Structure 1
Amino acid sequence: MKHGRVTELPEDFYIPIPLDTNNITSLSPFLVPQDHLANSGTFYAMAVYMFFIFTVGTSINVLTIACTIQYKKLRSHLNFILVNLAVANLLVSCVGSFTGFSAFASRYFIFGPLACKIEGFMVTLGGMVSLWSLAVIAFERWLVICKPLGNFIFKPDHALACCVFTWVFALIASVPPLFGWSRYIPEGMQCSCGPDWYTTNNKYNNESYVMFLFCFCFAVPLGTIVFCYSQLLITLKMAAKAQAESASTQKAEKEVTRMVVLMVMGFLVCWLPYASFAVWVVNNRGQPFDLRLATIPSCFSKASAVYNPIIYIFFNKQFRSCIMKMLGMGGGEDEESSTHSSVTEVSKVGPA
């Protein structure tokens, strides 16, 4: 729904108001249903979607963490970053998706301004940890497989340092809106909260914060992922060419190529809509846009709590086998004899 002008309150929210509406309070996303933005069916459809992300995302990531606790063989330093990713995904699904479900079901942000800031911060923190974890996974694969540092061995201390790195950088990205550089407000259909990338309020310097996020939390991780996985593919293609008669090498090369494509596509599906829409809004101030469309980027980013573990964990033979065993479904192969081969394959060709 396009609107003719933007009216904003200084601290808690902004709302695009139709030209014939003068009572700002009557449209507050913290007080009344936002039926002026979309019909009830759209809100309820979003509530169903958020409930799906909450239940499935929470289940998958809790299962991943529980499986790692139960099976000592999964607690290798090469899997630390995958568990770190699961923790970040769990934060997004439990806080962001559950809050979104409750708000969309009520058709407004029922929890109030303070909860909006908390939710915006927590989801941004979890999202940034997830995003940087994907970059660190790519970097780790590059170090282990392509061996750019020669005989350098990736040790547990290195893995823990990488996990700490993701949280430090995530805090650097998510804390500023709490202290005046941008702010956390309801976004899209006003039922979930995130950084303010809509308004031009000079008090908050929103434009500079958006560009900071685009460069620091999108362009740099994406560049890292593309570089590392492209080097990985080159290395594997050279190995496949050198062993052209080896069926297993050719198969591994094809499997990893497919996996790399999935990883890069997953990253782009998660973050490209958010980054591109935010940058478009910043560079096209005054242009009307549909707030229902502004909700889509947030939905894609929250969905990463489901498809990230599917790509990075369920496609890992070692994790998949242990999860199936924990669920009583068996692994289809002898667990002890297959574990070493799975770890070896992961170290050679990536996530499996």
Structure 2
Amino acid sequence: MRGNRPVEFPEDFWIPIPLDTDNITSLSPYLVPQDHLGSPGIFYSMSAFMFFLFVAGTGINTITIACTVQYKKLRSHLNYILVNLAIANLLVSTVGSFTCFYCFAFRYMILGPLACKIEGFTATVGGMVSLWSLAVVAFERWLVVCKPLGNFVFKPNHAIACCAMTWVFALCAAVPPLVGWSRYIPEGMQCSCGPDWYTTDNKFNNESYVMFLFCFCFSVPFSAIVFCYSQLLLILKSAAKAQAESASTQKAEREVTRMVVVMVLGFLVCWMPYASFALWVINNRGQPFDLRLATIPSCLSKASTVYNPLIYILLNKQFRICIRQMLGMSGGDDEESTNTSTTEVSKVGPS
């Protein structure tokens, strides 16, 4: 509201109204550079960062997929899940990061509303598949190491079913904004797109959609990850206590503990800013906030396309050795270690 006159908000974007502007369409992020939100240097820095994520994320995830295709020994149930994670990351880096790199270079969503919806949808699908894949990895480690189901064996067909489930859950989260439950609009500095966290328009039911994402797409997988890894650590500590004189057991416990901490922290770095920002916005309607800060959650989630593979794949000895061999950097690793290696997490467990 400007004085006694209502201000019409278009259905395909939302930005704060400057004090000297009643015509919000003149500042459309699809039409003009958004220099009122920051200096050109900020936009160009973001463009460079997104270009790095595009190159690094595309490269490392493509290598992971190619390595799995080339080496049959990598086609185990856990590695299927890691490849599913790599495919989701590749989707985000090639579409999401590249679109952001291009638009930040022009300082506005130059590709238009349709491209915004495609980028928002793609980033949401890839992000949700990645998120649920991390939960499935934790679940698989819990089943294999802690053996809560006794002699149940987690087989490749179980892994494939879990991977399919991650895509179903991702589509459940990503499709609604395309059909009227919330919407995809430019976010932050208006050069990337995501669900509408900002408005309370009853037409789009944004608040209920945000709560759905927070509960189903953040709280549930995060709770699963914390539960599974906490049980894993308890088993490892019990094994280490029972074998206090075994240096290898003590070393394995330290390594697994370090990996679990890194995995949980990686999850929180990726998704906690998004969840916290969305909840803050819907619970503090009308409070001013800097749109430049609103860009940070989007950047951190896209950065996961680089650091997730580093955590989950390059710390997997099988993948690490095979990638080095594929790239001609085998450096003395013998074939036997390649065939018998498993992730460090599965080295210690009840026998």
What does residue 29 of structure 1 align with?
29
Deviation at 1:22, TM superposition (A): 1.8
Name the aligned partner's letter for residue 347 of structure 2.
K
Q: Distance between the aligned counterparts of 2:144 and 2:15, measured in 1?
A: 50
Give the equivalent residue in structure 2 for 1:292.
292
Q: Deviations over 1:295-352 (max 9, x none)?
A: 0000000000000000000011110000011111114420x210243128553349xx
3-state SS of paired residue (1:304): helix
Q: Using the alignment, how far apart are the partners of 1:139 and 1:85 within structure 2?
A: 15
User: Structure 2 CA distance, aligned partners of 1:59 and 1:150?
Assistant: 40
CA distance, structure 1, for counterparts of residue 303 and residue 342 of structure 2:
28
In structure 1, C-alpha distance between the alignment counterparts of 2:103 and 2:79, rounded to whole Å: 35
Amino acid of the structure 2 residue aligned with 1:294: A
Aligned match of 2:76: 76
Equivalent pair of 1:13/1:185 in contact (CA under 8 Å)? yes
Gaps of at least 5 residues in structure 2 are: none
SS of 1:256's equivalent? helix
- State the Cα distance separating 1:8 from its structure 2 match: 5.8
Q: Greater CA deviation, 278-287 or 74-83? A: 74-83
**TM-score of the aligned structures, taking structure 2 as reference length:** 0.96
CA distance 1:66–1:7, shift in 2 (3 Å) = farther
Q: State whether structure 2 residue 316 is matched by structure 1 residue 341.
A: no
SS in 2 for 1:277: helix
SS in structure 1 at match of 2:15: strand
**Paired residue type of 2:115:** A
Contact in 2 for aligned 1:82/1:313 (Cα 8 Å)? yes
Note closer, same or farther for the CA distance 1:116–1:7 as it changes in structure 2 (3 Å cut).
farther
Deviations 1:209-261 (A, max 9, x none): 00110010111111000000000000000011111111111110000000000
**What is the match of residue 159 of structure 2?**
159
Residues 349, 291 of structure 1: CA spacing in aligned structure 2 closer, same or farther, 3 A cutoff? farther
Are 2:7 and 2:22, in contact at CA under 8 Å, matched by a contact in 1?
A: no
Letter of the 2:337 counterpart = S
Aligned residues: 346
What amino acid is aligned across from residue 214 of structure 1 in structure 2?
Answer: F
Higher mean C-alpha deviation, range 311-320 or range 11-20? 11-20
- Aligned twin of 1:324: 324
Judging changes above 3 Å, is the alpha-carbon distance between structure 1 residues 289 and 345 closer, same or farther for their aligned structure 2 residues? Answer: closer
Query: Offset of 1:109 from its aligned partner?
Result: 0.4
* Alignment check: 8 A CA contact 1:53 1:93 kept: yes
TM-superposed CA distance for 1:7, in Å, is 5.6
Q: Deviations over 1:175-221 (max 9, x none)?
A: 00000000000000000000001111110000010011001011111
Counterpart Cα distance in 2 of 1:243 and 1:162: 35
Contact 1:270 1:301 in 2 (8 A): yes
What is the identity, as a one-letter code, of the residue corresponding to 2:45?
A: A
Aligned counterparts, 1:92-103, within 5 A? 92-103=92-103
Cα deviation, 1:124-183, whole Å, max 9, x if unaligned, reads 000000000000000000000000000000011101110001000000011000000000
Once residues 8 and 262 of structure 1 are traced to their aligned partners in structure 2, the CA distance between those partners, rounded to angstroms, is 46
- 2:264 maps to which residue? 264
Tell me whether 336-345 or 240-249 shows the greater mean CA deviation.
336-345
Distance 1:331 1:160, change over 3 A: farther
Alpha-carbon spacing, 1:115–1:346, altered in 2? closer, same or farther (3 Å)? same
TM-score by length of 1: 0.96
The separation in 1 between residues aligned to 2:8 and 2:221, in whole angstroms, is: 33
Residues 346/71 of structure 1: CA separation in 2 closer, same or farther (3 Å cut): farther
Aligned to 1:207: 207
Cα distance, 1:17 vs structure 2: 1.3
Cα distance in 2, alignment partners of residues 8 and 321 from structure 1 = 58
Equivalence map 1:135-174=2 (5 Å): 135-174=135-174
2:128 corresponds in structure 1 to 128
Structure 2 partner of 1:109: 109
Q: Does the residue aligned with 1:36 lie in a helix, a strand or coil?
A: helix
CA distance in 1, matches of 2:321, 2:331: 5
Q: What corresponds to 1:18 in structure 2?
A: 18
AA aligned opposite 2:228: C
- The answer to whether the Cα contact below 8 Å between 1:187 and 1:193 also exists between their aligned partners in 2 is yes
**Mapped contact 2:316–2:342 kept (Cα < 8 A):** no
Alpha carbons 2:256, 2:344 under 8 Å: kept: no
Aligned residue in 1 for 2:55: 55
AA aligned to 2:54 is F
- Using the aligned pairs only, state the percent identity: 79
In structure 1, how many angstroms separate the alpha carbons of the residues matched to 2:176 and 2:93?
Answer: 22
Residue ranges of structure 1 left out of the alignment (5+ in a row): none
Alpha-carbon spacing, 1:8–1:314, altered in 2? closer, same or farther (3 Å): farther
| 1:18 to 1:326, Cα distance in 2 relative to 1, 3 A | same
